[in-house]
Amino acid sequence: MTNDALKAKITELLPATGFEEGGQWLNINVEPADWRLLAEQLRLDASLQFDYLFCLTCIDWKTHLTMVYHLDSTKFRHNIVIKAKLDVAKPAIETVSDIWRTADFHEREVYEMFGVDFINHPDLRLLILPDGWEGKRPMLKNFEDPVNMIRL
């Protein structure tokens, strides 16, 4: 599908969606509350079939966090990027680990690095960081650790 067709289709699914064009792929801004429902439709809709989540990450903008999901369809080979703004004080969004199984590990990584709470995630605990790092959120911009220097 072309970007225009994707736009029309997604507006049909979720009328109040913001789009950003001009980048490499079509960007879609969603409210965290709408994300779960849209994700299910993106995965299952016969004309979309976004079955491959190739990147899931988070960006700390100091005033808010942005979750970024890069999606690809192995059947149609169209790509989109979904973005959801999260509250910095209490970041939370519904999990998609049952829709795309790869999100399980990626969400655990974002959870430990950024402190984002993935609602209904089956096994949300530290993956990469060792015990004792719970709640430290090392990838946030305001994180300072004088012992383990990570700023060069």
Partner 1 sequence: MVEEIGTTVEGDVLINVGPQHPATHGVLNLLLTINGETIKKVEPHLGFIHRSIEKMCESLTYRQFIYVTSRMDYLSAHINNHACALVVEKGLQVEIPSRAKVIRVLMDELTRIASHELWWGAMAMDLGAFTPFFHAFRERESINDIMEETCGARLTMNYIVPGGVMYDLHPDFQKRVKDFITLYKLKIHEYDEMVTGNIIFQNRMKGVGYLSAEDAISYGCTGPTARGSGVSCDIRKLYPYEVYDQLDFDEILETGCDSFARYMVRIREMNQSIRIIEQLIDTIPEGDFQAKTKAVLKLPKGEFYQRVETARGEFGVYIVSEGGNTPYRIKFRSPGFSNLSALDQMARGSKLGDLVAMMGTLDLVIPDIDR
Residues making contact with partner 1 (CB under 8 A): 23-25, 51-55, 57, 59-60, 68, 70, 74, 77, 100-102, 104-106, 127-130, 138-139, 150-152
Rg (Cα) of the chain, in Å, rounded? 16
User: Shortest Cβ distance from residue 116 to partner 1 (Å)?
Assistant: 14
State which residue, 10 or 78, has the beta carbon closest to partner 1.
Answer: 78
Q: Which token pair is 141?
A: 């911009």
Contact between 58 and 110 under an 8 Å Cβ cutoff? The reply is yes
User: What whole-number distance in Å separates Cα of residue 124 and Cα of residue 105?
Assistant: 9
State which residue, 147 or 152, has the beta carbon closest to partner 1.
Answer: 152
User: What whole-number distance in Å separates Cα of residue 52 and Cα of residue 62?
Assistant: 30
User: Shortest Cβ distance from residue 12 to partner 1 (Å)?
Assistant: 25
For residue 46, give Cα distances in angstroms to 41, 42, 76, 115, 121: 9, 9, 10, 35, 26
State which residue, 12 or 145, has the beta carbon closest to partner 1.
Answer: 145
State which residue, 33 or 101, has the beta carbon closest to partner 1.
Answer: 101
User: Shortest Cβ distance from residue 53 to partner 1 (Å)?
Assistant: 6
